[in-house]
Amino acid sequence: MTDDEYVLAALRIAAGADPLPARVSADARAVYGLRLPGAVTASPVRPAPEAATGVRPLGGVRSDGCADDGDPRLLRFAAEGLTIDMEVTVCDSHIDLAGQVHPAPGDGARVEIRTPHVSKIRFPTETGEFATTGLPLGWLSVVCHRPDRPPVATRWQCIRR
C-alpha cells in the first residue's frame, strides 16, 4: 500500500467510527438547496453617494457602508455589466429592503429576494426599482433574473441589528 492508500483507509475507518452529527448533514442539504446553477455571482463594490438616487436619501450611512441602529445600510454589487444597489434597514425584528438594478433589466425580468427561509419575488419598475418589507434578520441575497441571460446573484450578506 502507498502512503495515500493508508491515509484513505484511515479516513474511511474514522468516518465509520465517528459519523457526522445529523444537524451538520441537514445544514449541508439546506445550503445545497440554496444554490443557483448557472448564476453569475455579483461582487460587492463600494457604494457611491449618488447610488441612493432613486432609492431613498442616505440618512446615517457611514462611508464604510455600515449604519447606526435604525439607519439604512447601502450595499452595491456588480457583475456582467449589471449593478444592484440595496438599501437595507433593520427595524425591530425584521428587515426592510429598497433597491435598484442598473441598467434597468427590462420586460420579463424579476428580482428574487432570498433568505434561507423566505423568498420574495418583485418585478422591477421600468427604472429598475424594487422593494420589500418584513424579511427576517439574518442571511440575505438578491437575484436579478433576466430573460435569455444568466441570473445575477449578490453574495449572501448577514444582516443583524
User: Per-residue confidence of the chain (161 residues) as pLDDT tens digits?
Assistant: 677 777 777 777 777 656 667 787 788 778 778 888 899 999 999 876 655 444 444 444 434 333 445 678 999 999 999 999 999 999 888 999 999 999 999 999 999 999 998 999 999 999 999 999 999 999 999 999 999 899 999 999 999 88
Q: How many domains in the chain? A: 2
Residues 13 and 56 in one domain: no
Given this model, what pLDDT does residue 30 score? 81
The SS3 assignment for 100 reads strand
Please state whether 68 falls in left (phi above 0), alpha (psi between -120 and 50) or beta.
beta
pTM (2 d.p.): 0.73
Given this model, what pLDDT does residue 45 score? 95
Closest CA to 122 of 134, 112, 107, 114: 112
Residues 61 and 138 in one domain: yes
CA 36 – CA 14 distance, rounded (Å): 33
Hey, how many other C-beta atoms are within 10 angstroms of the C-beta on 72?
Answer: 22
Residues 59 and 121 in one domain: yes
Residues 140 and 70 in one domain: yes
CA 56 – CA 71 distance, rounded (Å): 12
* Cell numbers describing residue 109: 425580468
Residues 95 and 132 in one domain: yes
Residues 102 and 130 in one domain: yes
CA 71 – CA 55 distance, rounded (Å): 14
* Cell numbers describing residue 55: 432609492
Q: Cα torsion for 109, 134, 25, 157, to the nearest 10°?
A: 70
Given this model, what pLDDT does residue 49 score? 63
Q: Range of 115's domain?
A: 38-159
Given this model, what pLDDT does residue 85 score? 97
CATH number for 146: 2.60.40.10
CB 129 within 8 A of CB 98: yes
